[in-house]
Every structure is written in C-alpha cells, then in structure tokens.
Structure 1
C-alpha cells in the first residue's frame, strides 16, 4: 500500500495493481478486501474508464478470452485452451458502450477484468472460477481502430445476423463446457443489451448488470430514501433523465416493486416519467424504441426544465452519460418542489456524472438526498457533514452471482433482483441515514454480499429454480464456498 500510494497518478496505480494480480493473486485480493474503499475506485469506476481508453497502451499480459468473427464455428474447441475447467462466473462485453465513454472496442476488456475482480473481492468467488470474455467484433471508433498499438479486431463492427449468431455460439458453448456458469452481459449498446437479455434470460443462467444490477441498486437506494423523506415508496413520483438501458432497467424493476406494494401496473407506470435528448417521452412521439413505449404518457411534449415544473417529481434519476446535466437551475427547482429532493446522478465514470455531490448539496442548501454511480468525497456545507451514497452495482451483482452459484440456479428471474434490493436496503444503518447516506459503507461489502447471496439463494429454492437439494445450513454453505484471501 505504501508503494501504491507513492505513485503520482491513478493510471500508474491501476498498472501496479494489475501487475500484482499477475504476480501474487492472493495478495492482490487481500489488499482489495482490506482497503476496498481505496482500491475499488482504481480497479473499477472511475479509473477503469481511463484504463479502458488506454488499454492497448498499458497492456502487459493477457487476462481473458477473446472471440473474433474469424473464430465462428470453433468456439467450443477454443474454450478448451482456457486452463481452468470449473468456471462459475463469466463477464462478457463487446466494448460498444463502455461506461459513458462509447465504443472502445477490445479496449473494453478492462470492464470484465474489473467486474470479476469485484466478484472475488466483494463476494469471495474463487478467482480460478472467473472468466473475462471480450466479444471482439470490431469497433466503429476510427481513432482506436487505426491506433498502431490497438490489440483488437481492426475492422468496423459486425452486426445483425452475424453478430447474434456469434453470441449464440458462445452462449451454447458455455452451456456445454461450463454448465454451472453464470453469464453476466456488460456494457452492450442498448438495443443489443435488451435483445440478448430477452433471448437468453429465461433459457440460461444470465443477467445484464447495466439493466438489472443497476436497477436493483437504484431500487435499494429509493427504499432507503423513504426513511429520510418520509414519503411512502408507493407514493413516489420519479423522473429519469436518459432513456437508455440503465434508466429503463431501473423503471422496469420499479414497476414490479410498486405492483408488489399493491399498485396496479398502470398506476405504477403513471409514477414513472422519462426525459431523453428529444424531451419528455410522450405517446405522440414517433422516435421511441420498444423499451420506451410503456413509459410514453399522454402528455404535451416539453423540455427537461418544463417537465420538472409540471410533473413535480420527488426523485430525479440521471443515466445520461452527460456531465452537468443536473444544472443549478434543475437542483433549485427540485428543492422548491420538495422538502428533501432526491437526486441520483448515476452516470459513470465521475467525469460523466450529472452533477457532483458538492453541487447537489450546495445548490439545494443541504436539502438534497444524493447518490451517485461513482464515488464522491464527504462534503461540508454550513457546518454539517454530508456523506454521499454511492449507488455502486458492487452492492448487488457479486451477491446475486454468489447466491445463484451456491443454489445452482437455472435462471435469474426478476424476483431475485427485488429480493437483492430489499436485502441491501435493510443493511443501511440508522447511522448511515443520519449522515445522509442511503447505502452502507463499502467496508462492509463482503458481509452485505453474504446477506444478499443468502436471500437470493433462499428465493431460488422457494421458486424451484435451484438445481440441487437445499443444504441444511445455507448460510454456512455459502461461507464455506467463499474464497478467503487471508494467509
């Protein structure tokens, strides 16, 4: 840690940790577990974004499995080259929508590597059972493609039938080669993300973290905000800025959660409003994608500011990838409308956040209940300390994966994400709430992952999707499974 802190840039710290992971894996995970608040921003967001941009330039050793269009027909055979035979978690990306940074092609391999490091550090999945995969099908980013050091398939992206056939071959090869493996789809462009999730979610053990993991974390945060705002969860009116896979995924899970609270589906939909780059999502628009249609209300078109004034939301959720989208005017209007406005600036990395924690607290005169996707430091305003909550998917996906693996679940239905969200919200202490934080400290992440995994695996047995007989002591079974990086 002394050596790490001596480095003068975060990208150098990332390189040092990456080298340590190659050289001494147990020590790497010991440090990641013991210093999680300091290490997570380096091995994941926000620094992983910078690492992905620079990936080909800071490359030292290969750490994953690459699939190109030239491998079509041979994937089962090529998987034989991977040295580990008992794979339990696979994180796959095609690099087309890395965080809020766009199409980074094969440079996006930093994301599966980082996510799987968190599976191990946060939930104790053994590193030998983790497989990072890059669906290296080209990039439409000309600058990256023509970079002399670029490691990826140096052509424009394949799409359509050829693309989906390649993904299908891989998914089916995994079923044959690693029948107990969970596939996590990560950072796919919205249309492909939804298409792949809809094809496979009821057939194989898989989920999309951007759509479902983000949704569960946001839902947990919303449950916790009610302890501050005193507005019952079913009464919340929520507005999203951005209508891509993350925002719509949150809304889809919110509908299920609201229906569980006794609302009809239409009443739930009526609580949720979207604004995208073309204004309020209304039924008269002709440019909407299929996943937006359920949220298109019969309302006059309007811009973002006017929409806030007329609809009067209690909660504003940003998933735009547009830094500064929550302006001083936006925060001020929300503060006029609400005693405690809830502001979620969820876009990653920090450079893409809709507003900073300091802006949210300052512009709202300390009234805001704030959460972000990337970490922000504690803020002092008017003599009071505010500890912003980080809506980090690491609170959810490692526990979901651990629970599904231990239960040998066949699929991951939405009920498991509802269960995970409720469990996470219950780990938020009164002290967290007093400090204005709607998520627990990251230092508790392994305990949180254990609780999420226990609740998820219990639910899997209840739903009849577990493929083994239920152990007598499920908590102990999970604990026994978890990798311990202590010497």
Structure 2
C-alpha cells in the first residue's frame, strides 16, 4: 500500500493517489516515520559508538601511550581520556590547552644558547609529541625553519653521530642486499606515500657525510608535513649507507654508519635498484625524492628511474623551479621578458644545470627558438667559463658550451658577457665579491643576483654585501635566510630562494592525483604558481618570494597546479574530483589534538 524511500537526506513516502488526504492513514504513516527516524538515530548512535570503541582499541594504553609520539598529548589529555586510556596518575592533574603547551615549548626553546641546541630540543619534542611539534613549527615557521632545516641542519649532520638520540627512518647498507623488502617492512607505518632518500655524498655544500646525512631526509619530511600538510605517518626517511670517503668520519668512534670507503660501480647501482624496486613492492605508488646525491650519480639515477617509477631529484628539479620563480619575480620589478635575459650561472652541478634546462624550457614556452634560448644561459665551473673549445666537459655541461673565448675568472666573465642575472649555485662562499657586484651594477639598472648555495656559510655573498656594492639597486635572493637589515634608513627583507617553496607542494600534488611520474612541466607550473603568489608589498620590501608565513597557502596552490598537469597528461591514477582545490585542501593534515573518547 505504501513505500518509504530515502532520497539523499530526505525520507519519501509513496502511496496510492486515492489514499492521499486520508487522515487515519496520515496518522499511521506519521507513527511509521517517527519509528523509522528513531531506529535510524539509534543505528547511527550505535555505529558512532562502535567507531569510537574501534578507535580506542587502536590507541596504546598506559605508559606505552605516553611513549608513542603519534598519539601522545602530554599534559593535554582530558579527564575522560585519562580514565579510558589508563594514564591517570601518569600525567600531571592539570589539563593544558595546546596553546599553553606551545608557550612552554617556545619558552624553553628560546633559552637554548645556540641553534644546534635548539635543533636537539626540537628533535626531542618530535620524538615525544608529533602533533605539538608540527603545531609549533607551522605557527612559528619563520623563526624555526632555519633551525629545523638550513642552515642548522647542516651543522646537525656534521655532528649527527654525536647528537644522536633515537633512530628515525630506515638505514639500508650493502649488508642488506637481497633483503631490502624485508628491511622496508620493518617500518611501522604501512601507508607510506612519500620517501626522501639520500646516500649522503653531497650534503648541502658540506660534502660527504655518509650515514650522518640522514638529517636531510628527516628535515625535508618535517617540512612536507608542516608546509603542505602531508601526514607524518605517510612519510619515510631513508639513508642508503654505502660507506663514506670522509676519513675523519670513518675514524670517529661515534660515527653511526658502516666503516668502509664508498661503494661504487655495479654494486652501488645494484643496491639502488633493489631499493627502488622494493619500494614498488612494499609501498606501491610512493613518490621517491632523491636528495643530496653527488653529481656523478644524481643525473644518471634521475634519467634511469624518472620514466619507470614516480620520482624526482630535488637538487636538480626543485632548485631549478625556485630559481625560475625568482627570475619571474625579479622581472615584476625590472619589466621585460624572460627570453630577453642573459643569465650567468656560477656552478655547473645538479642545481645549476637543472635550473638552466628549466629556464630554457620557459624561454621556449615564450616563443624563443630552443637553441637561441640555450645561447642566453652561460655557465662557469671550477675551471672557468664553459665554452666549446674545452675538451673536459661531460655531456650535461656540453649542451651549454657556446662558441666564445675561454675566460678563467668570474670577474672577467661578467665584464665580457654582461649578464642581466647572476645565479650562484657553486657552494663556494664569497665568489660574488665587491668587484663582481659593482660590475653587475654598472651594466644593469637593476642587477639580479641570487646567492643560492646552502648553508649560509657557503653563500656566494651576503644580502648586505649585495646591497652595499650595488647602491641598493640589486634584486637579491639567497638559499638560506639573512636577517633583515637597515640600508640608507629603510629596512630590507630579502627573499629566500629555498626549495621549501617548491617540493612540498609538488609532493602533495603528486600524492593527490596519484601521478605515475613526475614531469618537468610540473616544476614549470610550480615555478609560475610560486611567482604569482608574491604580493606587491613583498616586492616593495625587496622580496621576490612570498613570506614564509604563507607557506601552506603557497604549497596548496602549487599542489593544485601540479595535480592539474597530472590529470591533463593522463598520468593520474585517482579519479578527478569535482572541485580540485577543495579536494586538495581536504587532504592537508592540521596538527590539532583529536578526542580519543
């Protein structure tokens, strides 16, 4: 006689037309509706109670909970949680808010005598309470980034064996050949979506630090969580401990790695191959980020795997994108087009050559012939200007070798080539001396100078040096931050051209779309998106990158652009959402305490 159906959030009652208006039937149906609603409410309450109980069963109890950084809240457990989780009496009686806990953290942090001690303190916090650690980091990113990452992470890696507290990540050595799959399965989290891996041979500009280079993957992944909202349980730091040629480390009794010279040749390649294939087996579809590999391996590993698995090299591709974004930002101040620039790169390693290739792609996109675009990018290495007459160039350098007389020193190269932009990726401090900077100022109304080498001690020049030598006309950016300073009565804040602006957003976009591969176009759109995020008031203060306080906003915008490329290029394995922006926003982890009861 009648039917009750559900249409979305609404109940629909269907009955014969002749019965419409029958008051007795209306009362009867009203009782049926009320009974149905009560049953649904009881069912929903039961489901909710079962879900809460399931969640409660998954959480460690007692002292094990307080020692688990994924679940621990410290002094923020509620009275109900203390009873349900068996920790009453194990934590102080007072219940603190997360804001009160942040106040305590910052008070203790700022008492530390130097940045390395601050790094150790924050590492301890991360080991105790990850939610609080990421809340503190996200809310104080400008203050804490130089501690969690460059420049302090460089010093931390140099002393890693001496400040080691507890292991993080996975170490894979030649002793693990044939069982890397088993080693990866020891990781407690099974939904890993992103892996940062290093072999420690070229840590920042500090050289071979072997297994002590683990500080770099750990730091990078902390930034993935803070800056892009990728949950910490979805990330895995990996150190390929293939030995070290740093004899001082091998002789250090507190060194944490294997004591042997570096593995080379086919044995090295076989271990890397086993690792990459093991990832496909244990964590299928996970993004692999190669980090701080030496030039001899970085280019060829990227070439070998980029079309086989989902991977990228941050030193090659991430640095390229941030350099290109800086050039776009500088052109907002100088006017003109990218294709009209003449760029001199000081340094012809991973960062420099990767940036050159991306700049050529960008110039070509503006309509320039590819060969003409290459002719506008010049390189110097440790031996001098890269020109066709040199017979000591590898294949990556040779594509940028132009017909020109050889020039041995940077000052002469700047005088001869008259570049509009000078980009330092050499890892050698002080190369942009006063003479070089004054020449750049003489041949350009607004000289573009990027000293991108990390850490700060390796920067080609300081921000103040660049301003003073160019009468304040320079457009400057650096890889590590410089403190604001006063120049001719005004406060100058210079932009930090650090990969932190690029890789978190790229990683989130790849994860969101389930991209099978990471393409150069993704880094191109990341650079354009980053440049568009710079506000007019930033430019007025001398900054060509957005303020770090907007890093979440920047990363989400880049992720959206990267995911769009994945969908347009048929590389995505996740169905396209109706609202891409809202979907990506929904993926971002917010470090807040959740209720356990």
Question: TM-score, with normalisation over the residues of structure 1?
Answer: 0.99
SS for the counterpart of 2:585 is: helix
- State the 1:486 CA deviation: 2.6
- Establish whether residue 440 from structure 1 lines up as the match of residue 542 from structure 2: no
Partner of 1:142: 247
After superposition, what is the alpha-carbon deviation per residue over 1:349-392, rounded to whole angstroms, capped at 9, x for unaligned?
Answer: 00000000010011111011000000011121111222110001
- Establish whether residue 231 from structure 1 lines up as the match of residue 231 from structure 2: no
After superposition, what is the alpha-carbon deviation per residue over 1:445-471, rounded to whole angstroms, capped at 9, x for unaligned?
Answer: 001000000111011101110012101
Is 2:346–2:381's contact at 8 Å kept on the other side of the alignment? yes
- Establish whether residue 292 from structure 1 lines up as the match of residue 389 from structure 2: no
Counterpart pick for 2:414 among 277, 293, 308: 308
Please give the alpha-carbon distance, in whole angstroms, between the structure 1 residues aligned to 2:367 and 2:153. 41
- Establish whether residue 424 from structure 1 lines up as the match of residue 524 from structure 2: no
Please give the alpha-carbon distance, in whole angstroms, between the structure 2 residues aligned to 1:436 and 1:142. 43
Higher relative contact order (CA 8 A, sep 6+): 1
Partner of 2:231: 126
After superposition, what is the alpha-carbon deviation per residue over 1:429-454, rounded to whole angstroms, capped at 9, x for unaligned?
Answer: 11111111100000000010000001
- State the 1:309 CA deviation: 0.8
The correspondence of residues 408-487 of structure 1 with structure 2, limited to 5 A, is 408-487=514-593
Is 1:274–1:281's contact at 8 Å kept on the other side of the alignment? yes
Q: Give unmatched runs, 5+ long, in structure 1.
A: none
Please give the alpha-carbon distance, in whole angstroms, between the structure 2 residues aligned to 1:476 and 1:341. 40
Please give the alpha-carbon distance, in whole angstroms, between the structure 2 residues aligned to 1:310 and 1:38. 41
Is 2:320–2:356's contact at 8 Å kept on the other side of the alignment? yes
Is 2:512–2:574's contact at 8 Å kept on the other side of the alignment? no
Is 2:467–2:473's contact at 8 Å kept on the other side of the alignment? yes
Please give the alpha-carbon distance, in whole angstroms, between the structure 1 residues aligned to 2:394 and 2:143. 39
- State the 1:286 CA deviation: 1.1
Counterpart pick for 2:269 among 164, 170, 179: 164
SS for the counterpart of 1:97 is: coil
Is 1:220–1:421's contact at 8 Å kept on the other side of the alignment? yes
- State the 1:477 CA deviation: 1.4
Please give the alpha-carbon distance, in whole angstroms, between the structure 2 residues aligned to 1:228 and 1:474. 32
Counterpart pick for 1:261 among 366, 386, 393: 366
Partner of 1:177: 282
SS for the counterpart of 2:207 is: coil
Please give the alpha-carbon distance, in whole angstroms, between the structure 2 residues aligned to 1:357 and 1:346. 11
- State the 1:164 CA deviation: 0.8
Q: Give unmatched runs, 5+ long, in structure 2.
A: 1-105
- Establish whether residue 249 from structure 1 lines up as the match of residue 359 from structure 2: no
Partner of 2:481: 375
Partner of 2:157: 52
Partner of 2:137: 32
Is 1:202–1:413's contact at 8 Å kept on the other side of the alignment? no
Please give the alpha-carbon distance, in whole angstroms, between the structure 2 residues aligned to 1:465 and 1:191. 29
Partner of 1:111: 216
- State the 1:476 CA deviation: 1.6
Please give the alpha-carbon distance, in whole angstroms, between the structure 2 residues aligned to 1:181 and 1:307. 44
- State the 1:210 CA deviation: 0.3
Greater mean deviation of Cα atoms: 21-30 or 282-291: 282-291
The correspondence of residues 323-334 of structure 1 with structure 2, limited to 5 A, is 323-334=429-440
After superposition, what is the alpha-carbon deviation per residue over 1:276-324, rounded to whole angstroms, capped at 9, x for unaligned?
Answer: 1111100111111211011001110012211111110000000111110
Please give the alpha-carbon distance, in whole angstroms, between the structure 2 residues aligned to 1:469 and 1:85. 22
- State the 1:337 CA deviation: 0.4
SS for the counterpart of 2:564 is: helix
Question: TM-score, with normalisation over the residues of structure 2?
Answer: 0.81
Is 1:87–1:180's contact at 8 Å kept on the other side of the alignment? no
- State the 1:108 CA deviation: 0.4
Please give the alpha-carbon distance, in whole angstroms, between the structure 1 residues aligned to 2:140 and 2:285. 31
- State the 1:248 CA deviation: 0.4
- State the 1:478 CA deviation: 1.1
Please give the alpha-carbon distance, in whole angstroms, between the structure 1 residues aligned to 2:430 and 2:273. 39
Please give the alpha-carbon distance, in whole angstroms, between the structure 2 residues aligned to 1:78 and 1:136. 13
Partner of 2:467: 361
Report the structure number with the largest CA radius of gyration: 2
Please give the alpha-carbon distance, in whole angstroms, between the structure 1 residues aligned to 2:574 and 2:414. 50
- State the 1:79 CA deviation: 1.3
Is 1:423–1:452's contact at 8 Å kept on the other side of the alignment? yes
Partner of 2:324: 219
The correspondence of residues 44-123 of structure 1 with structure 2, limited to 5 A, is 44-123=149-228
SS for the counterpart of 1:295 is: coil
Partner of 1:399: 505
Partner of 1:346: 452
SS for the counterpart of 1:317 is: strand
After superposition, what is the alpha-carbon deviation per residue over 1:128-184, rounded to whole angstroms, capped at 9, x for unaligned?
Answer: 111000000000000011100000011000011100110010100111111121000
Please give the alpha-carbon distance, in whole angstroms, between the structure 1 residues aligned to 2:503 and 2:527. 11
Q: How many residues align?
A: 487
